[in-house]
Amino acid sequence: METLADTVWTMYIVVLIIALASSIMYWIYRRFSALAVITIILSLLIPLVAFIYYAQRPWGMDEYVFLKEQLQMGDNWAIFLTSGYIYLIAWLVLLMVDFCIYLCKLPSINRKFKILWRKCSLLAKKVFVNISVSTKEILEKVSVFTKNMLDKLKEKIPMRKKIEDKKEKEKVGGE
């Protein structure tokens, strides 16, 4: 039977273990308790359901393609697995946001962020001031260049002036 690459399976197992371990830790610390319990249940249940569900796939089809086809046909187990995977990804995103908030509250890291923010804002001011000055200079140079080019073209093409003169005479004569 066809199957996904070993790296995909490794990443799958690592994500499930991280989700399970973090949800147990959050459940013990009583942070996001309801979400943590749901994550514990799903991180244990999804691999079991997926194993049984993927065993039904036809020969020559990998797990992802089988899940995608069954999801398009509206199979309930495919919907359950997909929603479980989405929930686990959302749980991991929640963990990353919570961890970033925790880090920003630490005094030493907060000071470093303030210093970094000051440096970035100063650099941004310098860059945008230089851009605005150079933009003005460029626009002036472009306008002078186009004016010079138009003057040269007018000198080289005297026929255009003659045609314009004829049109003016016709207008004056016709009125």
Q: Is residue 119 part of a domain?
A: no
Q: Is residue 164 part of a domain?
A: yes
What's 163's DSSP letter? H
**How much is the pTM?**
0.58
Q: Is residue 113 part of a domain?
A: no
Domain count of the fold of the chain: 2
Q: Is residue 43 part of a domain?
A: yes
Q: Is residue 30 part of a domain?
A: yes
Within 8 A by CB and 6+ apart from 6, the residues are none
Q: Is residue 46 part of a domain?
A: yes
One pLDDT digit (tens) per residue for the chain, 175 residues: 566 667 877 888 888 898 888 899 888 888 778 888 988 898 988 988 888 887 887 787 878 788 888 888 888 888 888 899 899 999 889 988 888 888 878 888 888 878 888 888 888 777 766 665 566 677 777 778 887 777 776 666 665 566 666 777 777 665 5
Q: How far apart are CA 6 and CA 13, in angstroms?
A: 11
Same domain, 85 and 26: yes
- Name the nearest CA neighbour of 38 among 88, 93, 94: 88
Same domain, 70 and 147: no
Residue 136 buriedness (CB in 10 A; 0-12 / 13-18 / 19+):
exposed
